[in-house]
Amino acid sequence: MNREEFCKHAKIDWNRNMNREEFCKHAKIDWNDITTDDWHKISTVYIWHPMISNTKGKSEIAALYNVGNMGIINDMLPTAEELAGHYSTLQGNSAKLEYTMKVQKTEMDQMKERHAHQLQNIKDSDREAAFEIKAIEKIFSKELK
C-alpha cells in the first residue's frame, strides 16, 4: 500500500504540504517564533492528525497554534506520530511482500524451466523408444514372413 492509498483509506490528504513560511503567514507570527523542533512537530500534526481537514488544514493548524501555542500541538502529536508510524509499518510490510513475491516468482520461473527441460527429456525418450519399437517390429515382421 503506497502513501496515497493509505491516506485515502485514513481520509488524509496524502499530498498535503506546507512550509514553515506558509505556516508563519497563516499564524501571523515571525519565522523566528518557532524552533526547528517545533516546526517538525507542527508539520507532523498538520500532515498526519486526522482532525486536521484536507481543505482548511493550514488555517486550522495555525488557529490551533494561536490558541494554545505548542501545548495543543504537543497534545495532538502522539496521535499524528502513531498514524505516521502505521504508514511506515505498512510501507515496510509492503516492501517485504514485494520482495517475497519477487523471490517466489523467480523460484516458480526456475521450476517451470526445470519442468520444461524434464518434459523435453521425456519426449526425446519417447521418440527413441518409438524408434526402437519400430525397429523391433520390423525385425519381428521379417522373421514372421
- What is the pLDDT at residue 120? 81
Query: What 8-state DSSP symbol labels residue 69?
Result: H
pLDDT the model gives residue 39: 87
At 11 the pLDDT is 58
Which residue from 59, 77, 75 is spatially nearest to 16, judged by alpha carbons? 59
Closest CA to 49 of 93, 100, 11: 11
pLDDT tens digits along 18-57: 778 888 888 888 777 888 888 889 888 888 888 887 777 7
Task: Kindly give, in sequence order, each residue whose CB lies less than 8 Å from that of residue 19, ignoring residues fewer than 6 positions away.
Answer: none
* Residue 4: per-residue pLDDT: 60
Task: Measure the N-to-C terminal CA separation of the chain; round to a whole number of Å.
Answer: 77
Q: Please, are residues 28 and 66 in contact by the beta-carbon 8 Å criterion? A: yes
Angle CA 57–61–62, to nearest 5: 115
Higher pLDDT, 12 or 132: 132
> Amino acid identity of 49?
H
d(CA 65, CA 89): 29
Burial of 64 from C-beta contacts in 10 A (0-12 / 13-18 / 19+): buried
The cell for 44 is: 507532523
User: What DSSP string runs through 118-137?
Assistant: HHHHHHHHHHHHHHHHHHHH
Give the tens place of pLDDT for each residue, 74-132.
988 998 888 888 776 777 766 777 878 888 888 888 888 888 888 887 877 877 777 77
As a whole number, mean pLDDT of residues 60-85 equals 87
pLDDT at residue 1 in the model: 57
Output DSSP code: residue 31.
Answer: G
